[in-house]
Chain A
Amino acid sequence: MTDHPRATPRRPILGRAGRASAAGAAGLLALALAACTPGAGNDAGGGDASPAVDVNTDVASLGEVELTVWDQEVRGGQADQLEELNQAFEEAYPNVTINRVSRSTDDLRTTLRLALSGNEAPDVVQVSNGRPDMGSYVEAGLLRNLDPYAEAYGWAERFDASVLANASYTDDGATLGDGSVYGAAQMGEMVGVYYNRELLAELDLEAPTTWEEFDAAVVAAEEAGELPIQFGNLDQWPGIHMLGAAQSRYVDPETIRDLGYGRPGSSWATPENTQAAQALVDWAEDGYLTPDFNGVGSDPAWQAFGEGEGVFLIGGTWLLADLTDALGDSLGFTAFPGADGQTVVATGGTSLPFAIPQRSENADAAAAYIDFITSTDAMAVISEHGNLPVADVAAQEAEGAQREVFDTYDRLVSGGGMVPYLDYATPDSYDVITQQVQSLMGGEATPEEFLDALETEYQENVAQ
């Protein structure tokens, strides 16, 4: 994002100087071509199941350790909680010094690829769960298999199975949700329905608890001249969440998980997915969404919702703090039961998991650190700073919309209705889905064409 390739004007490459350098170029090209296959010198020697030898959970016995941690918790409350936990860790284990390197998500993501394959890898890194990131690092043997630590520290009891599944990969890095644990996350995330309590009251409506009530509220809002659903899709990614919401209504959660995790036999071309796609088209055609939503940025959209424009907003919990600031007590949050009429289904997952590079020399201390910042005590700290902790949600104190977010998340996790982001499955799926949702909702593609495009990409790239 911050890189703007705008070089100074170049002169046309011409004339004699050009010929002379062309000779040099040819020579150099031959040199370059003689070099070896890309990545050949890069093999970390991992990939195969890491030896489970010598898991040491006694940090004090490790001697002086400098622990380098790369994280992307740069925003307000998220930065604060990690800062506080880091300090507590250093106080608990004076022999460990934390060297914190904090970058924005995008910056971390683009530098991680090089850092992990370099010789001086950090000890702890935050890695995006998806296949293009965590999956490819696992495949290349650049991340440590944390199964032995998960067992030693009892992570299976601490976290819901879905939370660990979100950071688990098969050894070939091809299938998310199966195999060994490669990371642990601090915070939860989900995409739900925000509503404006005040506007609902003006329309004489209760907060909806099912999709049917939501439909009725949308129609009533439209008739009363209010904007039913605030939506801005210029940035493309909100479309994935919109699709996820529609899908959670019609498609069984286990089927969505199979699809999102790229499990064999999954398919986009199903009647239920067609229903979901049609629902998006209907919202768009019936005028229930922000006019010209494909040309409205995501920030202006949620800001408008914060100013009282729009009864509903389908969005992620990362908007909670900002929307609470804007709407105060008027803000509400919920998610609805899916196809079976009981299980609450919504797209969700965790914040970026913390993982240990294969080349870190302080794996024991790193694992102890990850355990520390995801412990029960840590969850309370995370909640105090206004974030959604990944575990023990029900036990945390909160009020208003934050309480509703906590309760919804708890119901989602305990009820087994959490479904992964749809772009996890294949490296190309993010681009394809975001572009296709714009086309579908913009009236350029029919639901059949839409699913056909998704299906083609999916079957080409998903693990066989």
Chain B
Amino acid sequence: MSRSSTTAAVAAGGPEPSRDSGPSGRRGPRRPPRRRGRAPGEPHPSAAYLYIAPALIVYALFLLVPIGRSFMLSLYEWDGLTVGTWAGLDNYVEIATDPGLRAAFGHTAVLIVFYALIPVAVGMVLAAIVARARVRGMPFFRTAIFLPQVVALAVVAVTWRDIYASDGPINQVLRFVGLEELARAWLGDFALALPAVGLVGTWVNTGLCFVLFLAGTGKIPGELYQAVRVDGGGPIREFTTVTMPALRNEMVVALTLTVINALRTFDLVYLTTSGGPGNSTTVPAVEVFRQAFERGEVGSAAAVGITLTLIILALNLLISRIGTREAR
């Protein structure tokens, strides 16, 4: 702790932090105070780094170095071929000011609703129902609902492109029930293309959430539900007081995974609409690809990538924070 913060604490009238009483006090009186030297056979503290070194080196080489390199590239204007010119934070300023790029980040906010919030909500309700009812043929439903997770997203994209087509199944059903005026090419509609792509994400991610939650409900003791019933609570009461709190950890995991999915989504968008119509479905990952490989603006692409990484990191910290706070 630095001196300035200590002074600040004193100035604020706070108690002077004591170095000695804190940790040893918490450890309890029965344990001997920590000696200066090491116990016989106790390794040097820095030996820990030796143990993690192999993993750390691989991690650093293939993740941290590329990230550092990307960050460096993001400070240049570089076409990938000629010598780059220093651009400072210009590429980041462009993200904040360019309406196209801002729109791309805005679209991910909508996608988070479809990729993360709806699947978590639907998955939880489904899991709660299934856990209560003990449905027959459970393995079948579990597999069926989880299946979208297993199918390659490229296949999912091509399939849904056909489903949304002018003469695809959705429109056929609409026409069959006499709702022709609702039938349209869903992916070609400026207002509906983004929700349409988002719904595919919902379809894909619901299975993941459902299976996660289902596993979680298995460890909830039945007595808790009985207790609610004894108190006169119905199924909804059971859900809010028992199931939901018990699944908090699963919810954090599910949200983390699905939010990441939403933010870095590329294949679904690229293969269904390639960002169109107009720019109504562009997302940052597609912009990264286009700028780096199609337009030769590597610096700007790196800046979008780094920004995306930071947003993912921040959102995940937030989600974990909420999860741990609720757990207390």
Binding site for B on A (CB under 8 A): 1, 4-6, 9-10, 12-14, 20-21, 24-25, 28-29, 31-33, 35, 37-40, 42-43, 109-110, 113, 116-117, 132, 136-137, 139-140, 142, 233-236, 291-297, 300, 427-428, 430-431, 434-436, 438-439, 442, 444-445
Min CB–CB distance A26 → chain B (angstroms): 9
Cα of A1 to Cα of B271 in the assembled complex, Å:
8
B-side interface residues toward A, CB under 8 Å?
Answer: 49, 52, 56, 59-60, 64-65, 67-69, 71-73, 76, 78-84, 86, 152-154, 161, 164-166, 184-190, 252, 256-257, 260, 264, 266-267, 271, 273-279, 285, 290, 293-299, 313, 316-317, 319-320
Partner among B186, B266, B275 whose Cβ is within 8 Å of the Cβ of A295: B186
Contact B184 A42 (CB under 8 A): no
- Contact yes or no, B52 A20, CB < 8 A: yes
A29–B79 Cα gap in the complex (Å)? Answer: 22
CB distance from B219 to the nearest CB of A (A): 20
Determine if B278 and A444 form an interchain contact, defined as CB atoms under 8 angstroms apart: yes
Our pick among B76, B294, B316 for the contact of A132 (Cβ within 8 Å) is B294
CA–CA, A234 and B60, complex, Å: 41
Interface pair B166/A295, CB less than 8 Å apart: yes
Report whether A132 and B295 are in contact in the complex, using a CB–CB cutoff of 8 Å: yes
With beta carbons under 8 angstroms apart, the residue of B59, B72, B189, B278 that contacts A35 is: B72
Known: A38-B298, A293-B185, A295-B277. 20 other contacts (CB 8 A): A5-B267, A5-B285, A12-B316, A12-B319, A13-B316, A28-B64, A32-B68, A37-B86, A38-B83, A132-B294, A136-B81, A136-B296, A234-B188, A294-B277, A295-B188, A296-B185, A431-B295, A435-B279, A438-B277, A442-B278
Specify which chain A residues have a CB less than 8 angstroms from the CB of B290 in the assembled complex: 431
Give 10 CB contacts A-B under 8 Å.
Answer: A12-B256, A12-B319, A25-B64, A113-B80, A113-B81, A132-B295, A293-B185, A296-B185, A428-B295, A435-B279
Smallest CB gap from B192: residue in A = A295
Enumerate chain B residues within 8 angstroms of A32, measured Cβ to Cβ.
65, 68-69, 71-72
Return A294 CB to nearest CB of chain B, in Å.
3
What 3 A-B pairs are tightest by C-beta distance, nearest first? A295-B185, A295-B188, A294-B188
> Chain B contacts of A444 at CB under 8 A?
190, 277-278
Q: Known A32-B69, A136-B81, A435-B279; judge A110-B293 contact (CB<8 A).
A: yes
Contacts of B59 in A (CB 8 A): 21
Separation in Å of the B227 CB from the closest CB of chain A? 33
CB distance from B294 to the nearest CB of A (A): 6
A116: chain B residues within 8 A (beta carbon):
81
A56 to B297 Cα, complex, angstroms:
38
A13-B316, A236-B276 known; A296 and B83 CB under 8 Å? no
From A10, A38, A110, contact of B84 by CB (8 A): A38
A109 (CB) vs chain B CBs: closest residue: B293
B187 touching A234, Cβ below 8 Å: yes
